[in-house]
Each structure stands twice: as C-alpha cells, then as structure tokens.
Chain A
Amino acid sequence: MISTKNGNAPLAPSVRANRRLLAISAVFGAVIGVATVFVQLPHSDGAPTMGDLLRAPLPAWFAILIAVAWGIVLPLISWRWERVVDEHERQAYRDGAVAGFYVMGVGAPMWWILARGGLVPAVDAIGLYVATMAATAVVWLWRKYA
C-alpha cells in the first residue's frame, strides 16, 4: 500500500513558512479584534455586540491606527506569503481570489441596482466584504484540499 500519511517526514520549508505567515496573520487579526472590543467597551452598555464591532463609530485615532496597520501589514504579509508558498497553494489561492472577484463584481452592481429600485436595503460594504472573503476562502480551501 502506498502511504499517504505525513508520518515522521519533515515539513517542506515552503510549508513551514506558509504556516508561520498564516499564524502571524491570525494573530494580527486577533489583536485588531481584541483592540476593537477594548476601545468600544467604554461606549457600549455591557459587552459590545457583533453589530457594534462591525458598524459602531470608532475614535478617529484608533480608526487611523487600524487602517494604517491593515494597509501596511497585511499587504506585506501577503507579498511575503505569495513568495514562499508552493505553486499548488498559490494557484488555489488565486482561484479563490477570482471567485471573490466575481462575488464582488457581480454581487455589488446587482445589489446596488436592486437597492435603487427600492427592492432591497442600501448596499452594505461590510456585507460585500464578508461575502467576497468567504467565497475566496471556500474556493481556496476546496482547490487546496479537495
């Protein structure tokens, strides 16, 4: 029988670098999430709800800090990640990115037109962002593992 399990084989350097960068991204996202909760605590009655976290106003200094961190750190991690991952993972990610592009490219105009026709609520940027990222992640994982 041909073994397909990991066994004791050491991970390839590209796989280790991939996991390291994904872990850094996860920690970065968690820090932003926790920081947002703490910044909003004084402005909420009790613990902030998910709606508060996504849509409630933020202090200007905090908004600038997070926007700059997001705009600099995330592209740097993404750039590095694209350089270290193996070609199969890179292709899976790009397939996911194309799926995300279509969700945004098709979904946003549809929603916008329907909203102008009074048929649906106004376009929600965060809703579109979440849908785009979800489509990207689903296709990325499907192409990598299926």
Chain B
Amino acid sequence: MAEEADMKNRLKVLRAERNWSQAELAGRLDVSRQAVNAIETGKYDPSLPLAFRIGRLFERPIEEIFDDEHHD
C-alpha cells in the first residue's frame, strides 16, 4: 500500500490575510476551532467536501490552498 503523502496548505496565511481568528473561520466553515487548528498544522487533512467549502470561502481553487507536494 502506498504511504500517504504529507499535505501542506495555506489556510493559516489566507486566514491571516482576512484577519480572521481560527474561531471565526471555524464558524464560517461549520467546524470546530480544533478542526481548523488541526488542518492548519497539518495534523488533519480535510475531506473533499470540506476542502471545496474552504476553496469557495477563499474564492480559490483547491490546489491553490492544498498541496500534496507531488509534482511531476
């Protein structure tokens, strides 16, 4: 079985650009503050539906926010 790649993301940067707290972002995404923190610190990878919600919220495609560091 293939090992899972480390996923990086720009959530913290995008949140800072809007001057939102983790709690504010969590409220907009309908998740807990712990969920936002876990995603930002790379401890939890969001599902596709949540990744799409994040993309829509920041008006960016998912691949501009999340990067699995797999480049051909």
Q: Which residues of A contact B (CB under 8 A)?
A: 2-7, 9-15, 18, 86-89, 91, 144-146
Contacts and interface: CB of A to CB of B under 8 A. Distances in A.
Interface in B1-41: 12, 15-16, 20-24, 26-27, 29-35, 37-39
A4 B22 CA distance: 5
A4 B32 contact: no
Given A87-B47, A87-B50, A6 B30 contact: no
14 contacts: A2-B15, A3-B20, A3-B22, A4-B22, A4-B37, A6-B33, A12-B27, A12-B29, A12-B32, A15-B32, A87-B47, A88-B35, A89-B32, A89-B35
Given A3-B21, A86-B30, 5 more contacts: A7-B24, A9-B26, A11-B23, A11-B27, A18-B32
A6 B23 CA distance: 5
Contacts of A14: 30-32
Interface residues of B, number: 25
Contacts of A146: 43
Contacts of A9: 21, 23-24, 26-27
A88 B49 CA distance: 13
Contacts of B15: 2
B55 interface: no
A23 to B, nearest CB: 16
